[in-house]
Every structure is written in structure tokens, then in C-alpha cells.
């Protein structure tokens, strides 16, 4: 797929912390006698991540808020994020959306929220995530993108997942199992009715869609900005957003 070009340009801020995280996780692994890594054959169909043990550890944020909607239901996500966890889920879902849009633009299909792929192994010595996702999913740009998106999402919460503190951080009132009604996310929210033509801005994992037709937003470098209150500026370091009339 042509979208593999996007994968080759992805970089994660989490990379700088990978060695420290690996050391912490290996200490926890030894202390708690846990087993990590891809599941044994047959334990989850098609090696679909999120896989155990991460999948089980994520339970406090499954069907959570407006955006933490996974598997086949990810298309139902939308609205104003309810907290920092929900905001991070929004980034993941926007990545899924742009993966689908980018593939369609190339006459292809990609459902990054459900595609079968071999996940990044956080506990195999800290190999670069970009490199491993491409190498472990050869010839499949959609699988590589899903590996990268979900790997980045997991990396953000990895310590919280492993230690169990994600259950403390999550707000019980935002879980649908406790009565949260996701319908409140969709009422009167422009984010769920972009309308007309949409494009994506930025690079994965922060790539996100915006409405071209509505004309209230545009893309500046890696950022979506409001054309009413901001300008897209340029200098030797690239494009950047600033207040109207304040570009150097």
C-alpha cells in the first residue's frame, strides 16, 4: 500500500523513555512473575491487538467516555473528550479514521481498528517501535499503521496498565457499564458532523481529520488550526500556527 510511506515517517516522543520503561517493567515482571509478549497461537484470533496481558489491563477504559470505544465499535466514538484518558483515546480513533481515509485516497481499504496484525512487543529488549511494526507486518501498510497507533497508545499508559493504577485514574462514572450514556457525547457536537469533504493533517500517531467544506479549519504543518483566529506561518524550521496577524 502507498500508505506505507506514512508509516516510515512516524516518530514517537515515547522512544526517549523506552529504556527506562523497559527496566521498570522488567522489574515488575520479575517481582510479580508475569508473562508478557504476543499471545500463544490460538489465544486471540489473528494476533489482533490489543492482546493480553494489555487487553485485560485495559478493562477500566473499555467503553469509557466519548472516545474509548474499541474493536468494531470504534466508528461510534465522537464528541468532546471527558478527561485526559478520553483525550488520548480520541487521538487513537483519529488515527484509525485517517488510516481509512488515506487508504481510500489510494483506492485501497484499511480498518486499522480491526485489522489483524502482529503487535509491538514491549518486553523484547526495547527495539524501535517503528522498525519492529514494519518488520513484523511486512507488506501490509494497514497492519503496520495499526501496530504503530496501538503501540503508541499502549506506551502512553504502559506503567499504569502494568501497575493497575489505570483503574484509579479512570473515572467510574464515565464507564458505560456504570450507566454512562454515550449519547451525551453526540448531541449538538460539531466534531461528529464535519460534513462534506474531509482531509487529514499531521503525521501518525497525531494525524487527525478536519472538514475542508466547513472552512473553519485548515492544516498548518502538523497542526489543525482555526482560520478565524489563527494564521499559518512559516520560517526556516517549517510551518507553525500563531495568532491572526502575528506571523513574523
Secondary structure of 147-162 in HEC code, one letter for each residue: HHHHHHHHHHHHHHHH
- Kindly tell me if the per-residue pLDDT of 21 is higher than 80: no
Rounded Cα distance between 90 and 10, Å, is 18
pLDDT digit string (tens) for 171-207?
999 999 999 998 999 865 544 445 568 899 998 889 9
Mean pLDDT across the chain, nearest whole number?
77
Q: What's the average model confidence in pLDDT over 53-78?
A: 86
Rounded Cα distance between 43 and 52, Å, is 9
Which of 23-32, 42-51, 170-179, 235-244 is the most confident on average? 170-179
Q: What's the average model confidence in pLDDT over 70-77?
A: 88
My answer on whether omega of the bond before 205 falls inside 30° of 0, hence cis, is yes
Contacts of 60 (CB under 8 A, 6+ apart): 166, 167, 170, 175
- Please list the alpha-helical segments (H only) found in the chain: 4-8, 18-32, 54-57, 84-105, 129-136, 141-163, 166-169, 183-186
pLDDT digit string (tens) for 99-145?
999 999 999 999 999 888 888 877 665 678 888 899 989 999 999 99
Residues in the chain: 248
**Cα three-residue angle 133-38-15, rounded to 5 degrees:** 40
Q: Write down the pLDDT at residue 143.
A: 92
Rounded Cα distance between 128 and 155, Å, is 12
Three cell numbers at 26? 522488567
Out of 22-31, 74-83, 92-101, 185-194, least confident range? 22-31
Contact 110, 3 (CB under 8 A): yes
Which of 25-34, 44-53, 120-129, 140-149 is the most confident on average? 140-149
My answer on whether omega of the bond before 50 falls inside 30° of 0, hence cis, is yes
Q: Give the helix/strand (H/E) hosting 201.
A: strand 198-201
Q: Give the helix/strand (H/E) hosting 190.
A: none
- What is the percent of the chain where pLDDT is above 70? 73
In 3D space, the residue among 93, 94, 98, 92 whose CA is nearest the CA of residue 110 turns out to be: 98
CA atoms within 13 Å, Cβ hemisphere of 131: 5
- What is the percent of the chain where pLDDT is above 90? 35
Amino acid at each position: 500500500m502507498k500508505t506505507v510511506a506514512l508509516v516510515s515517517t512516524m516518530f514517537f516522543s515515547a522512544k526517549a523513555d523506552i529504556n527506562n520503561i523497559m527496566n521498570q517493567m522488567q522489574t515488575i515482571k520479575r517481582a510479580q512473575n508475569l508473562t508478557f509478549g504476543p499471545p500463544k497461537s490460538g489465544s486471540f484470533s489473528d494476533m489482533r491487538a490489543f492482546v493480553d496481558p494489555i487487553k485485560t489491563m485495559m478493562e477500566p477504559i473499555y467503553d469509557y467516555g466519548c472516545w474509548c470505544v474499541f474493536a468494531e465499535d470504534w466508528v461510534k466514538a465522537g464528541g468532546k473528550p471527558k478527561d485526559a484518558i478520553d483525550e488520548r483515546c480520541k487521538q487513537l480513533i483519529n488515527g484509525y479514521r485517517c488510516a481509512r481515509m488515506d487508504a481510500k485516497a489510494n483506492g485501497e481499504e484499511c480498518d486499522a481498528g480491526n485489522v489483524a496484525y502482529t503487535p509491538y512487543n514491549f518486553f523484547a529488549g526495547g527495539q524501535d517501535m517503528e522498525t519492529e511494526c514494519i518488520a513484523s507486518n511486512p507488506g501490509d501498510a494497514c497492519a503496520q499503521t495499526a501496530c504503530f497507533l496501538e503501540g503508541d497508545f499502549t506506551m502512553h499508559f504502559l506503567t499504569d496498565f502494568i501497575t493497575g493504577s489505570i483503574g484509579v485514574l479512570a473515572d467510574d462514572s464515565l464507564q458505560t457499564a456504570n450507566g454512562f450514556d454515550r449519547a451525551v457525547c453526540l448531541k449538538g457536537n460539531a466534531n461528529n458532523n464535519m460534513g462534506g469533504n474531509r482531509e487529514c493533517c499531521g503525521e501518525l500517531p497525531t494525524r487527525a481529520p478536519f472538514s475542508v467544506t466547513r472552512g473553519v479549519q485548515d492544516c498548518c504543518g502538523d497542526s489543525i488550526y482555526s482560520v478565524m483566529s489563527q494564521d499559518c506561518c512559516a520560517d526556516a524550521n517549517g510551518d507553525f500556527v500563531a495568532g491572526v496577524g502575528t506571523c513574523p
